[in-house]
Every structure is written in structure tokens, then in C-alpha cells.
Structure 1
Amino acid sequence: MNYQQTLDYLFSSLPMYQRVGNVAFKKDLTNTLKLCEAVKNPQHKFKSIHVAGTNGKGSSSHMLASIFQSAGYKVGLYTSPHLKSFTERIRINGSPIPEQNVVDFVARIQPTIDEIHPSFFEMTVTMAFDYFAEAQVDIAIIEVGLGGRLDSTNIIIPELSLITNIGFDHMDMLGNTLQEIAFEKAGVIKRNIPVVIGESQSETTPVFTERAKEMNSELIFADQEPLNTANYSLDLPGTYQAKNIKGVLAAVNVLRNKGWKISEEALIHGLANVSTQTGLKGRWQILSEAPLTVCDTGHNKEAFDYIIPQIESCSFEKLYMVLGFVNDKKLDTLIPRLPAQAEFIFCEAKVPRAMKLERIEELTSPFHLKADFVQDVNEAIALAKSKATKNDMIYIGGSTFVVAEIEAL
């Protein structure tokens, strides 16, 4: 098979959570362990940092990767989902995995895939681990896909675990309370391995404290540490990154104490060059200046609690919001948070999990918004551009998949 045929095989034969939802979520680690066994257990052959959390885990993972790159290390980075190309998920020093490596890996492991029928994510995690082990990376930053305890990535023994925060997302799989969700995320805390919690929350602190005690793990709450974030300039402009950077700085302090050589110069350079060194996209990304056009992959209530004040801090005459959602989003709690003066254009991403346009119309109608409904993401953006003047603002988001379909990204 060539690269395209390989991708077609993976997308068609393996259930993919991003596309089909929780039927693809396997609540145990058996398949991942079997896949890794088939390629000689690469998860034991490199050092790693494990990053979990509801919001900010992707940005934090990219920040850590950039810092280690600036410090001169060979750095693996595994994140999900991808925006444009499957190869974005697996990088070394910012460069995506070559397409030929994807083809070769799938050919090698296909008998095991056909035998156990893993999920798309289980296979991708194994591919990343195999690639990092083969390349002999100095360290790999591994972002959790969903939850933590039963996530496919949770077969590594990292140098450090980082949990950014806990919010209400994926409740159909992780639980209906912050305590239940925190319990799942706390599953990444390993025996005798330090853990940094990015944000203290009254509901979740006891969960993390108990798990860390049980695992004999050093526990650090980043927002309670004397960290001076003013010394660092970050090339990711979202105001919500202020919380993420605290967790990252606390993690760097722990890693320095463990013997990792990260100079202050490397820390400053790494944080100032995250997007250029690691290829991070879709985090308060400015697509054009006149009209100011911004996209962001933030897609839950907690994310919008930061995004909306940031929108309102911008200077514009009129605000246009191009939004689409996945079908498990609770719009009745999200819509009242959106800026009342905005004009909305709702759309539907081309994935099975996308909330249908008719459903969005039904759920938003009680709020009497000024809204258009346009099926295609880029046609919705074009409509916003046709209405906007150079003094207006266009915001595009609501779902990772809406952002992924932006042609100008």
C-alpha cells in the first residue's frame, strides 16, 4: 500500500474517536499492550513526560517540547487530534513523521491489527512509541488522548506527569462530576513519579492528593508555587496560556532537579518559539488582520470562559462568529455565554460526530440570535468575510474539526 491507501485502510477499518465518538473508546489497555508487544515494547525504550488535563494539555505539551528542543535535546512529541495531516500527531524536533514510516509501520503490524481490531488511537500511540524508540529520542512529550487512567498512552513510566486542569468535557465517558473526571485524569500518576497539577480546584485537589499519597508521588500545585511568569514571553497569544505556562514552569523546575539540563536561556527561547519549533496551530491563531480573523480549537465551557473575554478585549466595530460543534456539546449552557452583540454563522464540519445544522438551529432558536446557517465551514467563513468591513472581527471555532477545515490555516 502507498501512503494514501494506508491512511484509507486505517480510517476505514479502525474506529476513530474523533470521527465516531465513544464507540471507539476502549476502556482498557489490553489492545495497546498487545500492539506494543508486537513491536518489541518500544514504550520502555525512551524517557517521557505525560501530559493530561481537560484544557491546555496540547499547548503545554508543545511548550515542553519547544523548551527541550531549545535545550539541545532530541524531542519526540505525540499529540492528537491532527488538524491537517495525520503525520502532525507524531513529531521529532518539530518535524512530522515521514509518510513512508507510516506505511512501513502499518505493513509490519497489519497481522496484529487484523487479529485484534484495535481503535485508531491505540494503533497511533503504538506507532508513535515505535518511532520514538527507533529514533532514540532523548525525551518524548506524550499527550493523553482522553481521560488518563484507561487512555492508550498510559503504559509509559514517565519522568513526570503534568495534569493541566479539570473541566466538564467528555462526561459521557469520564463522569458527571469534577471529582469523577479528576479520578480518571489522576490515573496518569505513577508510583514514585512526581506530578504537577496546573490548577488547584476545591473539588479536585483531594482526589489528586489521595492518589499522589497512594503512589508515593511528590505533588506540586503550580498555582501555589512562587513562579514569576513575567520573565517569559510566549509566542502563543491566547490569554488562557497564562495558566498553562505556570504548569510548564513548575514541571521544568522538577525536571531540572532530576538532572535535566535546561538553562534559563533555553527556557526563554523555547517559550518564545513554540509555534515555529513545534508546528502548533489553532490556538488563538490570527489568520488575517483586516478584518481581524482569529481561530481557536477551544470547544468546551471552560475554554470559552477564557476565549470570550479575549474576544471582548479586541478592538472591532462588529463581531462575526463562525461556529460549529460536535454532537455531545451542551449548547444550552454555551450559547448564553457568547457575546450578545455578535452575528453568528453556524456550520457543520465534515465528520460523523459533527452536530447537524438542523440540530444547531433547533437548539439556538430559543435564544433569538442573529444567525445564518451554512453547511460548509469555508462557505460560512466566506459569508462572514463578505459581510465584514476591515474594522470588524471574525472568530472561527466551537470545534477542533471546524478549525481543521479552514482552508487558510
Structure 2
Amino acid sequence: MPESTLPNAQSPLSVWLRYLKKLHTSVIALGLDRAAAVAYKGKLIKPASKVITVAGTNGKGSTCAIIEAILLQAGYSTGVYSSPHLIRYNERVRICGEELNDGRHTEAFAAIESLRGDISLSLFEFGTLAALWLFIDNNVDVVILEVGLGGRLDATNIVDHDVSVITSLAIDHVDWLGDNIEMIGFEKAGIFRANKPAVCGEPEPPASVAAHANDIGAQLYQVGYQFDYQKDGEVWHWQCSTFKFINLPIPHLPLPNAATALMVLNLSELNVTNECVVAGLSSVTLAGRMQFISKFPVVLLDVAHNPHSAAYLATQVAALKQKNSVKVHAIVAMLQDKNIAATLREMKAIVNVWYPASLSEPRAATASTLASHLSKGVMCYDSPTDAFYAAEAASNGMSDIIIVFGSFYTVGEITNFLSKRE
């Protein structure tokens, strides 16, 4: 793009995003040097007095949202950075629980553009730096960063953070993180910091997690050892060696992530009361994660896209199915680099009717590829929207369950379709 046509702070957000996508040679470019150089130049390394960084295969967004909800109840101003988004880029940054308008993002992009000089940045690196700039500009009390990919070499790892978190561990992104759980554990544990707390919510982590914590002198807090939780009917209890919560409300997000979030808050040295925890857990939601958007029929959106997350989704849907004795209709569209066979296998026991669909993304698997892992005679659809129309027409509107899963792209398309239809 010629110098005269470079976007500025007043340029539309869509213009900036097109520019940033062309700025770097590859979409994914792991490594800290580029982003760190710009961050140090712009004094972005410590964006708040308290910073929490959250890594993991699944559950990162939910854990961030739970921490955010409780801290907002406690009166703290918060900044959350997460990815990917479902519909709008603006979803990636929240200040005190709210998205920012386009103008604030373009202002931040212009600031980073002026800082970077001739340093080439990927879209994710640029967006991460812009988010840090926004947090500092808004003077938030606590920043919560969701790691994009892995941990050790992810752009979020340039930040000087106070508490590190691993939510869960499973094999995913094998092209970037390795094809065995020990390698993946090491990459995620790369966010740990010497002499600072590191929380692990994976019940059976690979040895590489504890080994890395020990090597660098991080203080590891492991679920089942330093903290634990129990579901007790319609409530749950949480405890560590110094504190406990009893009779907590069960949130709309996965309980293991809530338990991990409470340990993070316990170690953060922030002032959080029992009342704040109860209020936060009762109110927290996150788009695309166990998101119920209709009752007749029940429509459930979840971005589950690997075997680990699909297994959790299947458990939750099975409980709903058992209560209501209904049919489950599943719209699924996935990216081709995911473990399609194992992910669909986790869902087969609870799905009655399948609607495999193609996505317009270049990395997407075709509907016929998905169908090859299902029973013979399954009809294929050109898009999740087409599949959704078919599921609506075939379902019993008063009792059946329609679930949409497989990718952020899948859930994003249906979310966008439904919002426009309403």
C-alpha cells in the first residue's frame, strides 16, 4: 500500500483490518521478538498493576469471563483481550465488560503503526499490542489476557504478568505445538514466571508442566492438590489450603473453569468477597460457549472443535436429553486441520440427526468430508445457515434440541444469521 494511502486513526476499522492482514507474510507467526520490540518502545509491557494470562487447549475464554465477572462485581475496572471473535473484531477487547467502538480500535492501531517502524507484525501481534495500548489508555485496574496459540511463543507472553493459568490440556494445533501432550504441556507452561503463582486446572497434566515450573521456580497450584471443588446437587463447593467457598451457584460456563478462576483470584491479592463471587458466577455468560438462544426449540451454540471440548458438550447435551427425552439435531462445520473423526465420535451417542455443512473459509473441511465420518445417507449442506434451516424444519419446535458446533466460524455464521433474522 503506498505511503499516501496508509490508514490513519480516522480510517474505517474494515480498512485497517484489510491492511493488517497484508502486513505480514503469514497469518500465524510464533515468536516474541517483533512484538516485544514494539511493546518496549511503547512502554506496553505492564498494561495494569495486576495482569493475569490464561493459556490452555479449551476453556480459556470461559475462565477469562468468569474472572472478569467476579472482579467487576468487586468494583475493579477490567480489560480483557480474547480471540478469535465470532462476528466483529470489536469482540476481542472488553473494557469493564463492554466492547469498544470502531474509533477506539482505529486510534489504537494508528498508535501501534507509528511505534512499529519497519518491524513486520502479524494481525494477531498487531491486535495484541493495540489491546495493551487500549488498556493503558483506559487506566484499568486488572488486565486479563487470553493466549492465542500455545503460550511460550504467543504474542501475549511478552507481557509482565502476575498470575499464569493453564485451563486444560489436550492435543490440538499439532502443526505448531507438536503431536504429543508433553510437548503441548511445555508450550503452554511457557507463560509461567519465576517466583510467581501458576495455576493448572487440568486434572492430569503431563509431567512437562510441573517440570517447567520447577525449572524456573514458578509456584504451581494444581487442581486436586492445592485446590479442589465438588458439585453437590444444584450448588458446588470450592476449597484450598487457606480458604473455602460453600454453596456456590453453578454457572452457565464449565465448572472446572470456574474452579480454576477462583484459585486465580485467591492468588491475585485482590479484594474479592463471597458476595462478589456468588454474583459473578450467577451472571457470567460468554457468546458461543454453552449459549442457549431459544427455548422452542432449544437452540444451543458452542464453539467445541476438538475431542476434549466435544466430550464436555456431549455430557451437557446428554443431561438435557435425559430430562426431556427429545431428539437432538446437530449442525456441524469444522476446519480441516482439526481432529474431525475423534471430535464427531464424542458427539455420536447424543445426536439423532446430523446436518454436516461446508464453510467458506479456505481451511474448512467440506460437508462430504464430515459426512464420511457419520452414518450413511446423511445429507450435506453448502453452509451452516442452510443446515440450520433444515434442522428447524425437521425438528419438533416444542421439544427438540438443535445444537450448532465445530468452529468459531460455524457459531459466528449462525449467530449473525439469527441476529439479522430477529
Opposite residue 209 of structure 2, the aligned amino acid is F
Deviations 1:331-390 (A, max 9, x none): 2223333225521111123322222x2xx4145336434522111222211111011112
- Give the CA deviation at 1:8: 3.2
Is residue 2:314 matched to residue 1:312? no
1:353-392 alignment runs, 5 A limit:
353-355=363-365, 357=366, 360-362=367-369, 364-365=371-372, 367-390=374-397, 391-392=399-400
Counterparts of 2:370 and 2:179, CA distance in 1: 22
| Corresponding residue number in structure 2 for 1:396 | 404
Secondary structure of the residue that 1:49 maps to in structure 2? strand
Q: Which deviations, in whole Å up to 9, do the C-alpha atoms of 1:97-118 show, x marking residues without a partner?
A: 2211112222333355673331
Aligned match for 1:288, one of 289, 294, 299: 294
Tell whether 2:330 aligns with 1:321. Answer: yes
Q: How many residues align?
A: 389
Corresponding position of 1:253: 266
5 Å-filtered alignment, 1:154-233, equals: 154-201=157-204, 204=206, 206-224=207-225, 225-227=227-229, 228-229=237-238, 231-233=247-249
Distance 1:33 1:331 in 2: 36
Give how far 1:79 is off: 0.6
Aligned residues of 1:343 and 1:369 also touching (Cα < 8 A)? no
Is 1:264 the counterpart of 2:274? The answer is yes
1:2-401 to 2 correspondence within 5 Å? Answer: 5-14=12-21, 23-38=26-41, 40-46=42-48, 47-111=50-114, 115-201=118-204, 204=206, 206-224=207-225, 225-227=227-229, 228-229=237-238, 231-236=247-252, 238=253, 241-255=254-268, 258=269, 260-275=270-285, 280-314=286-320, 315-340=324-349, 342-355=352-365, 357=366, 360-362=367-369, 364-365=371-372, 367-390=374-397, 391-401=399-409
Aligned residues of 2:356 and 2:371 also touching (Cα < 8 A): no
Question: TM-score, normalised to structure 2's length?
Answer: 0.86
SS in structure 2 of the partner of residue 168 of structure 1:
coil
Q: Which has the higher contact order (CA 8 A, sep 6+)?
A: 1
1:398 Cα deviation from its structure 2 partner:
0.8
Kindly indicate whether the alpha-carbon contact (under 8 Å) linking 1:335 and 1:364 is maintained by their aligned counterparts in 2: no
Per-residue CA deviations over 1:151-198 (Å, capped at 9, x if unaligned) read: 000011212111111101111110111100000000000111110101
Q: Secondary structure at the match of 1:321?
A: strand
Contact 1:324 1:399 in 2 (8 A): yes
Q: Match for 1:405 among 383, 397, 413?
A: 413
Q: Which whole-Å CA distance do the structure 1 matches of 2:256 and 2:251 have between them?
A: 15
The 1-side partners of 2:273 and 2:107 are apart by 38
Contact preservation (8 Å) 2:85, 2:91: yes
- Structure 1 stretches lacking a partner, 5+ long: none
Q: Which has the higher helix share?
A: 1
How large is the Cα RMSD of the aligned pairs? 2.2
Do the aligned residues in 2 keep the contact of 1:3 with 1:102 (CA within 8 Å)?
A: no
- 1:297 aligns to what SS in structure 2? coil
Report SS of the residue matched to 2:157: coil
When the two structures are superposed, what TM-score results if normalisation uses the length of structure 1?
0.89
Of all paired residues, the percent bearing the same amino acid is 28
- The gaps in structure 2 that reach 5 residues or longer are 1-6, 230-236, 239-245
What secondary structure is seen at the aligned counterpart in 1 of 2:14?
Answer: helix
Q: Which runs of 4+ in 1 moved over 4 A?
A: 1-4, 111-114
